[in-house]
């Protein structure tokens, strides 16, 4: 009988397999689960060189899969960004900003980009421009707020060159004082181009620091139990130039997160040209289990971009949408390229489906994977149409951060079904969960799982009634096997089962029994990808491979770990390791993801 490289025993292992939902132990060989069962069954695989890890009764889940995240872009910028995820007060957030401003060298900026909102703060408000200028009188500061606003201090206005004579760009507003001078507030009306184009004016990291940044970001995702992602591309992320870092890490065997990536069109009016070039030179599935091309999207044509900004009324999309979208979708269907499309509003989705049905009559979609992303206000009728075309829907917890604004604009009944996940599942539509991090939402999957289970925002606003919430088991399935469908890997990922890829997370607490408020504070104490340890903390820390120190040295990631950790101190318990653990401790570069404050009143900007 063959022997295993690694055995995990004494665990409470939730397999995700309905035929054997709970086991005690697993054996791993060549990156796959070879035995899953009782300790006696699995220990039969032990050989002289087998490493055995005693989990001390901890809960184990399949590795989490984020079906919509911007990991490649996030990795390039992770070491640049000051995270306010979970910071409990505005006063604390400003203290962190002030400290970072003092250590950030010219011409670099302090950037706060996504993962927070004012409802998490005890003060229940945004920072003022005066507060930003007082905290950083000389260092440029850029604070992004959802898809709606950006706050720039005086130094940042000087750095980007916005003056009294700078015209408003299409779709955006530079707020001005009575004399016509920019105040520092940028407003997305109706889209976020002004926010992202301004952010893109800031200095980038050197290539070497981008490599370091990406490695630290992947380790941060591993800390939270993520083992796979589907990267949705993103604006100002150019292919292939901005993929060099991730491709180098892949070539060196240094990826610790499996990445399936979608190609996001580069510029307005050049969308079909982009996809013609890409279909001629690349093929979906090209790559391997760690890094592979997944298809097209989430942007297919710029005229179909209905980015949600619940601070503003829903925008009407241009009349050119149908012709432009049809040309691209027809081309993709003819070349059998899977595709995804950003779609927030039902009014937009109706027009998208009109196009898809027209193409389908000529080029049948049957067997072609495609899906909508987000779909917060999709109607029952359009759910039926999506199912009829064989589509899926990737949902995210964007309402965790924008729910109060949605509630104020559209009311409680609409908020209770935004998005209508229960209706999707009842129709048998494939559904996968994710975050859409990092520019609005946090990349923390446990904040998303908390929202799925409780229907509650990060500020404590209950949006979804019990009938529209997920059980813990349902929510976890959306984050594992459900998400695996979107990369065509549902037979390889999403369960702890014999023959499947050996990706798993050992949790800091029991997800299935902790009080609901503790779900968002969970993390992984031991994460395996391909049967190899990629993260460990507490008693498992010696098993984790070391990371190089964070660079540059002034990076916000070096401010001092996570502060008040989202998960709190590591739970007590045994983590006995047999054989020869790695001798180096894991120097993490994680950031504050502390407790989310509850309770808020609705805020209207």
Phi then psi for residue 527, to 5 deg, are -120, 130
What is the distance between the alpha carbons of residues 465 and 455, in angstroms, rounded to a whole number? 7
Chain segment 316-342, per-residue pLDDT in tens: 999 999 999 999 999 999 999 999 999
- Residue bearing tokens 């990991």: 71
What is the distance between the alpha carbons of residues 569 and 580, in angstroms, rounded to a whole number? 26
What is the distance between the alpha carbons of residues 496 and 520, in angstroms, rounded to a whole number? 23
pLDDT of residue 560: 57
End-to-end CA distance of the chain: give it in Å, rounded: 67
339: left (phi over 0), alpha (psi -120 to 50) or beta: beta
Any residues with CB less than 8 A from the CB of 40 and at least 6 apart, and which? none
pLDDT of residue 272: 97
Q: For residue 149, what are its two tokens?
A: 């606003």
Work out whether the CA dihedral 199, 205, 211, 213 comes out positive or negative: negative
The average pLDDT across 192-204 equals 94
pLDDT of residue 319: 97
pLDDT value at 597 more than 80: no
The average pLDDT across 573-592 equals 32
pLDDT value at 591 more than 50: no
Binning pLDDT at 50, 70 and 90, where does residue 267 land?
confident
The average pLDDT across 471-476 equals 98
Mean model confidence pLDDT for the chain: 92
Binning pLDDT at 50, 70 and 90, where does residue 315 land?
confident
Chain segment 379-435, per-residue pLDDT in tens: 999 999 999 999 999 999 999 999 999 999 999 999 999 999 999 999 999 999 999
Phi then psi for residue 509, to 5 deg, are -155, 170
Contact by Cβ (8 Å): 25, 13:
yes
- In the chain the domains, ranked by start, together with CATH numbers, are 248-257+268-437+447-487 (3.20.20.140)
Q: For residue 185, what are its two tokens?
A: 């507030």
pLDDT of residue 603: 23
Q: Concatenate the DSSP letters of all residues of 278-329 into one string.
A: HHHH--TT-B-SSEEEEEE-S-S-GGG-----TTSPPPPPPTTHHHHHHHHH
Contact by Cβ (8 Å): 423, 383:
yes
The average pLDDT across 502-522 equals 98
pLDDT value at 601 more than 90: no
Q: For residue 344, what are its two tokens?
A: 């927030």
Could you tell me where the beta strands, DSSP code E, fall in 30-167? 32-37, 51-54, 59-62, 64-69, 110-113, 141-145, 149-152
pLDDT of residue 543: 98
- CA Rg value for the chain: 23
Chain segment 56-105, per-residue pLDDT in tens: 999 999 999 999 999 999 999 999 999 999 999 999 999 999 999 999 99
Provide the 10 A C-beta neighbour count for residue 254. 16
pTM of structure: 0.92
pLDDT of residue 588: 28
Any residues with CB less than 8 A from the CB of 459 and at least 6 apart, and which? 117, 118, 119, 120, 124, 404, 596, 597, 598, 599, 600
pLDDT of residue 317: 95
Cross-strand partners of 342:
373
Percentage of the chain with pLDDT > 90? 88
pLDDT of residue 308: 83
Phi then psi for residue 296, to 5 deg, are -110, 155
The average pLDDT across 293-304 equals 96
Chain segment 345-367, per-residue pLDDT in tens: 999 999 999 999 999 999 999 99
What is the distance between the alpha carbons of residues 565 and 572, in angstroms, rounded to a whole number? 16
Binning pLDDT at 50, 70 and 90, where does residue 2 land?
confident
- Residue bearing tokens 């992320």: 237
- Whether the upstream peptide bond of residue 414 has omega within 30° of 0, thus cis, is no
568: left (phi over 0), alpha (psi -120 to 50) or beta: left
Contact by Cβ (8 Å): 226, 66:
yes
Q: Is 248 exposed, middle or buried (0-12, 13-18, 19+ CB in 10 A)?
A: middle
pLDDT of residue 572: 34
Provide the 10 A C-beta neighbour count for residue 1. 5
pLDDT of residue 23: 98
Could you tell me where the beta strands, DSSP code E, fall in 2-78? 6-9, 12-14, 22-23, 25-29, 32-37, 51-54, 59-62, 64-69
pLDDT of residue 191: 80
Secondary structure percentages of the chain, helix, strand, coil, to 5: 35, 20, 50
pLDDT value at 1 more than 90: no
Listed residue (97, 98, 94, 68) closest to 81, CA to CA: 97
Chain segment 199-229, per-residue pLDDT in tens: 999 999 999 999 999 999 999 999 999 999 9
What is the distance between the alpha carbons of residues 194 and 565, in angstroms, rounded to a whole number? 34
pLDDT of residue 14: 98
- Residue bearing tokens 């009938």: 467
Work out the angle at residue 25's Cα, subtended by the Cα atoms of residues 56 and 41, and round it to the nearest 5 degrees.
135
Listed residue (13, 60, 66, 61) closest to 444, CA to CA: 66
What is the distance between the alpha carbons of residues 71 and 232, in angstroms, rounded to a whole number? 8
Chain segment 140-174, per-residue pLDDT in tens: 999 999 989 999 999 999 999 999 999 999 889 99
The average pLDDT across 109-132 equals 97
Provide the 10 A C-beta neighbour count for residue 38. 12
pLDDT value at 509 more than 50: yes
pLDDT value at 598 more than 60: no
- Residue bearing tokens 């490289």: 5
pLDDT of residue 70: 97
Work out whether the CA dihedral 176, 180, 183, 188 comes out positive or negative: positive
CA 20 to chain CA mean position, Å: 30
Q: What is the three-class DSSP state of 355?
A: helix
Listed residue (315, 294, 363, 381) closest to 68, CA to CA: 294
What is the distance between the alpha carbons of residues 409 and 421, in angstroms, rounded to a whole number? 21
What is the distance between the alpha carbons of residues 534 and 548, in angstroms, rounded to a whole number? 14
Chain segment 524-581, per-residue pLDDT in tens: 999 999 999 999 999 999 999 999 999 999 999 998 544 333 333 333 333 333 333 3
Contacts 24+ apart (CB under 8 A), 168-176: 168/194, 169/193, 169/194, 169/197
């Amino acid at each position: 009988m063959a022997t295993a490289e690694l055995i995990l025993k004494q665990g409470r292992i939730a397999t995700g397999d309905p035929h054997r939902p709970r086991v005690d132990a697993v054996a791993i060989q060549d990156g796959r689960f070879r035995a899953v069962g009782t300790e006696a069954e699995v220990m039969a695989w032990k050989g002289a060189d087998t490493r055995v890890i005693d989990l001390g009764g901890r809960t184990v889940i399949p590795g989490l899969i984020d079906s919509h995240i911007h990991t490649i872009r996030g990795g390039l910028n992770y070491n640049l960004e000051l995270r306010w995820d979970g910071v409990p007060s505005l006063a604390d957030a400003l203290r962190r900003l002030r400290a970072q401003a003092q250590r950030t060298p010219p011409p670099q900026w302090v950037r706060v980009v996504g993962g927070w909102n004012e409802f998490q703060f005890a003060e229940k408000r945004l920072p003022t421009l005066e507060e930003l200028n007082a905290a950083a009188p000389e260092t440029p500061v850029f604070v992004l707020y959802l898809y709606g606003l950006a706050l720039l201090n005086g130094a940042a206005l000087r750095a980007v060159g916005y003056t009294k004579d700078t015209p408003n760009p299409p779709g955006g507003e530079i707020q001005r004082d009575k004399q016509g001078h920019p105040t520092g507030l940028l407003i997305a009306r109706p889209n976020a181009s002004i926010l992202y184009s301004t952010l893109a004016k800031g200095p980038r990291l050197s290539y070497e620091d981008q490599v370091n940044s990406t490695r630290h970001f992947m380790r941060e995702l591993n800390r939270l139990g993520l083992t796979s992602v589907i990267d949705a591309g993103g604006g100002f992320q150019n292919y292939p130039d901005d993929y060099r870092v991730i491709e180098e890490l892949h070539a060196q065997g240094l990826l610790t997160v499996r990445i399936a990536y979608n190609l996001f069109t580069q510029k307005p009016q050049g969308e079909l040209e982009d996809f013609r070039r890409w279909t001629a030179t690349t093929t979906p599935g090209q790559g391997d289990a760690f890094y592979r091309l997944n298809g097209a999207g989430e942007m297919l044509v710029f005229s179909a971009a209905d980015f949600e900004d619940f601070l503003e009324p829903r925008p009407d999309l241009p009349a050119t949408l149908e012709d432009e979208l049809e040309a691209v979708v027809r081309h993709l269907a003819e070349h059998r390229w899977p595709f995804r499309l950003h779609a927030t509003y039902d009014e937009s989705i109706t027009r998208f489906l009109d196009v898809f049905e027209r193409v389908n009559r000529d080029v049948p979609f049957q067997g072609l994977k495609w899906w909508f992303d987000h779909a917060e206000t999709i109607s029952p009728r359009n759910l039926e149409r999506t199912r009829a075309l064989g589509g899926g829907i990737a949902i995210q917890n964007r309402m965790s951060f924008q729910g109060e604004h949605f509630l104020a604009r559209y009311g409680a009944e609409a908020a209770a079904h935004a998005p209508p996940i229960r209706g999707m599942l009842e129709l048998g539509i494939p559904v996968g969960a994710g975050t859409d991090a990092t520019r609005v939402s946090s990349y923390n999957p446990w904040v998303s799982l908390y929202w799925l289970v409780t229907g509650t925002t990060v500020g404590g606003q209950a949006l979804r009634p019990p009938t529209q919430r997920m059980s813990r088991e349902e929510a976890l399935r959306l984050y594992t096997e459900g998400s695996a469908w979107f990369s065509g890997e549902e037979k390889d990922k999403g369960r702890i089962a014999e023959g499947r890829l050996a990706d798993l997370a050992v949790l800091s607490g029991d997800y299935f029994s902790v009080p609901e408020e503790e779900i968002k504070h969970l993390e992984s104490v031991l994460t395996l990808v391909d049967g190899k340890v990629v993260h460990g903390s507490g008693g498992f820390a010696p098993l984790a491979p070391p990371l190089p120190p964070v660079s540059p040295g002034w990076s916000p990631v070096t401010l001092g770990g996570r502060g008040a950790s989202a998960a709190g101190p590591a739970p007590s318990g045994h983590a006995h390791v047999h054989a020869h653990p790695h001798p180096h401790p894991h120097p993490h570069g994680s950031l504050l993801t502390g407790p989310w404050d509850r309770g808020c009143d609705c805020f209207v900007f």
